[in-house]
Chains A and B, each alone.
Chain A
Amino acid sequence: MIRDKSNYVKILLSVFFVVCVILPLIRMFANIDAASYHAVVDHPLFGTAVGNSLKAASLATLISVGLALMLSFCLARSNMRLKNMFKVVLTLPMLIPSISHGWGLTLLLGNNGILTKWLGLSEGIHGLTGIVMGSVMYSFPIAFLMLADVMGYEDASPYEAADVLGIGKVRQFTGITLPYLSKPLISVVFSVFTMVITDYGVPMMIGGNYRTLPIMMYEEIIGMGEFGKGSIYGIILLMPAVAAFIIDLLKKEQSRSNFVNKAIKPRKNVVRDMVCYLLCALMCLVVIFPIAAFVLLTVVKRYPLDMTLTLDHIEKTFNMDGGTFLVNSLIVSFAVAVIGTAVAYLCAYCTARTHGPLSRALHLVSITSMAIPGLVLGLSYVLFFKGSFLYGTLAILILVNSMHFFASPYLMIYNSFNIINKNLEDVGATLNISRPRILLNVLVPQTKDTLVEMMSYFFVNSMMTISAVSFLANRNTRQLSLMIRQFEGGRLMECAAFVSLMILCVNLLVKTTVYILKKVLKKNKAR
């Protein structure tokens, strides 16, 4: 009989997922008791926090997706100049943690903010407005990137057919564009909503007294060590994420893959191009403002009182162990990039290139991490791994991040594997070329660019995450991103700004390297 040896790998990976995702989650559920439940639900602020969270997340989602839709439309359907530059600048905010968005906004529009004074406003935007604005800044690039991708791949043929039939532009929009966008749009809306409602970084910085669920959870756990109550909040935060995940899954089952026949070439229209250009430029300005504020605060002595250029704040940050935390972050991010990519690659190889019920089960488990908010995964890890040799080490941070960010890179390589010729392994089997050889000598060389993209995704996200690691990091293993809160708390505003800038610079460096590497790979491929 021909035995499929990949089954052993699949079993091993399944066990890995059970230990690293399923069991910790079960442990969190087991931590719930009636007393904690009542303590949370009967808390006078609970109802308010639920309402606040829903309100802030809904508003932020609406604005974020609306803006993303408008700007991705500008990119896909106009002939404006500098499209590539706009795309790069508009996605820059993806490289800094949510807490930095909150911090940038505080610097600009807080009670003593730079813009608050310039514009002569009586008070800052702390509270709902601040949270919504910060959350839009944080989530907009994701929505924009997803939609720009979808729009960029739209087929021109239906529009050409409509033109021939004399159907007007408005009818074309409602009859072709909207139906085409409806499914991806649902995906984007749910992703953004989940991302915003489970984030504590923005509300912590600019929320003022406006309390949201993640803030309550954070305070219960970090402030009071109430893990029982924390678990209740964890389960509540898990709900929207799981709902979004299930809807996305059902939707994907229904949708069929479609291939682009012809890319859309926008007609000549100077006015439209001008409007698009202005809109993109305006949004770029909004995106650049907080980054400019970080730079300004970092390099001048005391804004706005003493504008002398200085390196004092940088020196101070490093004197306060900023260097150690940077190294911690770099070690963790690099390890996550290597280990996460290796596991995701192997896992996708099993699910996309081998058959059987185990493959399908493994695929489902692999994408489940998408449904678990970082805070919830972090808490589960605290409860499950406490007392083990891993707890309190960099290793647990590497593990939790690898799992937290697993789904997206996994799907990247899963899709790449699926478009590579399905008969390669069969041909290999008849030519006596083993599966591992086909994997190493044929599949790996053909998926180099996806591999690079996966590593970069794991690295950048680990570098800026504040969610899963927040409960797990201790004095020795603390990450750079978690320093922003600490510096802000110690009224070291300039140091907090510099830390945000450092994270941005590291990530930008990684992204640039990846860009160059991919260009080189593409050139070699074409040879």
Chain B
Amino acid sequence: MENQNTKIVVNGLKVVLGKKTILENIHFDVKDGEFLSILGPSGCGKTTILRCLIGLLNPTGGTIVKDGTDITKLGPSKRGMGIVFQNYALFENMSVLKNVEYALRLDKSRKAESRKIAMEMLQVVGLADHAKKRPSRLSGGQQQRVAIARTLALNPDVILFDEPMSALDVDTRMILRQELKDLQKKFGTTMIYITHDQEEAFAMSDRIMVMDNGVIHQIDTPENIIKNPADDYVRRFVVHNLQLKIDSLSRFSTANAKGDDSAQ
């Protein structure tokens, strides 16, 4: 990780909505090609960070620098980033192919090859056979893949994920996790991934940023967070909760092993 260039630097980010301070003095950076998870409970400010990064929300203070350029005041479409939402946000009146193709057709430089790119992206996410269907006829996991293909089609170098798997069942999540990692490897895209699921964050991330109440408690690799939790909150919310899951799984595997023994 040390050799990688810095992709994004967030410096002193502050967001005040109405009279409420949501974020204050947020500093962090993201390396090129890194998978960074932002982990925290609901309402901790993680989505607010994401909305500032993509440009859907103007921060009250601070700067966001990408590839050495200050992008704090740039429009969302000019930042070279894409976003995938929890609720897919697909265009229900269009076919799967049109969903992926629509933004490309509006871009003069890519209009001519829009159909080709869209089909390629659908192939990448394994949905080429479903190109003509309406999104409502696909499963949740498939719909999320369409949303990912739509984002990938514009070739962003950073993709933000806002709890993209919260609405999916466990099996689909497992499969999609692996697919996301594969995509990252294939395209070399930097990914910033929001989740409240410790296991998900630990399974996928190069680094994890643990947040609560608008404050960053720790940013580090999964191993370091387990070994050296920065404070009590990290110990409780991350390490302890994760330990509980591991314990219950190990009990299950012990029981399973005993079952196997007695069967023999």
* Bound: A446/B87 CA distance, A: 17
Instruction: Verify if A427 is at the interface (C-beta below 8 Å from B).
Output: yes
- Residues in A with CB closer than 8 Å to B134 are 527
- Residues in A with CB closer than 8 Å to B233 are none
Instruction: Verify if A432 is at the interface (C-beta below 8 Å from B).
Output: yes
Task: Report B94-118 CB contacts with A as 1/0, cut-off 8 Å.
Answer: 1000000011001100000000000
Instruction: Verify if B150 is at the interface (C-beta below 8 Å from A).
Output: yes
Q: Please judge, given known A-B contacts A423-B85, A427-B85, A446-B92, whether A1 and B58 are in contact too, CB under 8 Å.
A: yes
- Residues in B with CB closer than 8 Å to A261 are none
Prevailing SS type, chain B contact patch:
loop
* Bound: A421/B55 CA distance, A: 19
CB within 8 Å of A: which of B187-203? none
Q: Please judge, given known A-B contacts A2-B55, A423-B89, whether A429 and B77 are in contact too, CB under 8 Å.
A: yes
State which of A2, A422, A433 has its C-beta within 8 Å of the C-beta of B102. A433
Q: Is the beta-carbon distance between A431 and B89 smaller than 8 angstroms? A: no
Instruction: Count contacts between A and B, CB distance < 8 Å.
Output: 67
* Bound: A432/B103 CA distance, A: 7
Closest A residue by C-beta to B89? A423
Q: Is the beta-carbon distance between B75 and A437 smaller than 8 angstroms? A: no
Instruction: Verify if B237 is at the interface (C-beta below 8 Å from A).
Output: no
Instruction: Verify if A445 is at the interface (C-beta below 8 Å from B).
Output: yes
Instruction: Verify if A430 is at the interface (C-beta below 8 Å from B).
Output: yes
Instruction: Verify if A442 is at the interface (C-beta below 8 Å from B).
Output: yes
Shortest distance from the beta carbon of B152 to any chain A beta carbon, whole Å: 11
State which of A422, A430, A441 has its C-beta within 8 Å of the C-beta of B82. A430
* Bound: A281/B246 CA distance, A: 67
Q: Is the beta-carbon distance between B77 and A432 smaller than 8 angstroms? A: yes
Q: Is the beta-carbon distance between B103 and A426 smaller than 8 angstroms? A: no
* Bound: A203/B92 CA distance, A: 50
State which of A424, A433, A446 has its C-beta within 8 Å of the C-beta of B103. A433
Q: Please judge, given known A-B contacts A2-B58, A445-B93, whether A427 and B83 are in contact too, CB under 8 Å.
A: yes
State which of A1, A422, A445 has its C-beta within 8 Å of the C-beta of B73. A1
Task: Report A440-472 CB contacts with B as 1/0, cut-off 8 Å.
Answer: 011001100000000000000000000000000
Q: Please judge, given known A-B contacts A421-B89, A442-B91, whether A430 and B83 are in contact too, CB under 8 Å.
A: yes
State which of A430, A437, A441 has its C-beta within 8 Å of the C-beta of B77. A430
CB within 8 Å of B: which of A410-428? 421-424, 426-427
State which of B56, B58, B94 has its C-beta within 8 Å of the C-beta of A429. B56
Closest B residue by C-beta to A527? B134
Closest A residue by C-beta to B160? A430
- Residues in A with CB closer than 8 Å to B56 are 2, 426, 429-430
- Residues in B with CB closer than 8 Å to A445 are 93
* Bound: A441/B88 CA distance, A: 18
Instruction: Verify if B38 is at the interface (C-beta below 8 Å from A).
Output: no
Shortest distance from the beta carbon of B74 to any chain A beta carbon, whole Å: 9
Instruction: Verify if B61 is at the interface (C-beta below 8 Å from A).
Output: no
State which of A2, A423, A431, A437 has its C-beta within 8 Å of the C-beta of B87. A423
- Residues in B with CB closer than 8 Å to A446 are 92-93
CB within 8 Å of A: which of B165-219? none
- Residues in B with CB closer than 8 Å to A433 are 102-103, 106
* Bound: A442/B88 CA distance, A: 15
Instruction: Verify if B54 is at the interface (C-beta below 8 Å from A).
Output: yes
Q: Please judge, given known A-B contacts A2-B76, A437-B106, A527-B134, whether A430 and B81 are in contact too, CB under 8 Å.
A: yes
- Residues in B with CB closer than 8 Å to A421 are 87-90, 92
Closest A residue by C-beta to B54? A430
CB within 8 Å of A: which of B49-75? 54-56, 58, 73, 75
Shortest distance from the beta carbon of A518 to any chain B beta carbon, whole Å: 16
Q: Is the beta-carbon distance between B77 and A426 smaller than 8 angstroms? A: no
Instruction: Verify if B154 is at the interface (C-beta below 8 Å from A).
Output: yes
Closest A residue by C-beta to B91? A442
Closest A residue by C-beta to B162? A423
Q: Is the beta-carbon distance between A424 and B89 smaller than 8 angstroms? A: yes
* Bound: A24/B70 CA distance, A: 51
State which of B58, B73, B103 has its C-beta within 8 Å of the C-beta of A431. B103
Shortest distance from the beta carbon of B102 to any chain A beta carbon, whole Å: 7
Closest B residue by C-beta to A444? B93
Q: Is the beta-carbon distance between B85 and A426 smaller than 8 angstroms? A: yes
* Bound: A441/B106 CA distance, A: 12
Q: Is the beta-carbon distance between B107 and A432 smaller than 8 angstroms? A: yes
* Bound: A306/B76 CA distance, A: 78
Closest B residue by C-beta to A438? B91
* Bound: A408/B106 CA distance, A: 36
Closest A residue by C-beta to B133? A527
- Residues in B with CB closer than 8 Å to A431 are 77, 82, 102-103, 150-151, 154
- Residues in A with CB closer than 8 Å to B77 are 429-432
* Bound: A437/B106 CA distance, A: 10
Complex A-B: 20 CB contacts under 8 Å: A2-B75, A421-B87, A421-B88, A421-B90, A423-B87, A423-B89, A426-B76, A426-B83, A426-B85, A426-B89, A427-B83, A429-B56, A429-B76, A429-B77, A430-B77, A430-B151, A431-B150, A442-B92, A442-B94, A446-B92
Add 15 more A-B contacts to A2-B76, A421-B90, A429-B77 (CB < 8 A).
A422-B87, A423-B87, A426-B56, A427-B83, A427-B150, A429-B55, A430-B76, A431-B77, A431-B82, A431-B151, A432-B77, A432-B106, A433-B103, A441-B91, A446-B93
Give the top 8 A-B pairs by smallest Cβ distance, nearest first. Answer: A432-B77, A423-B89, A431-B103, A445-B93, A429-B76, A427-B89, A430-B76, A423-B85
Q: Which residues of A are at the interface with B, using a C-beta cutoff of 8 A?
A: 1-2, 421-424, 426-427, 429-433, 437, 441-442, 445-446, 527
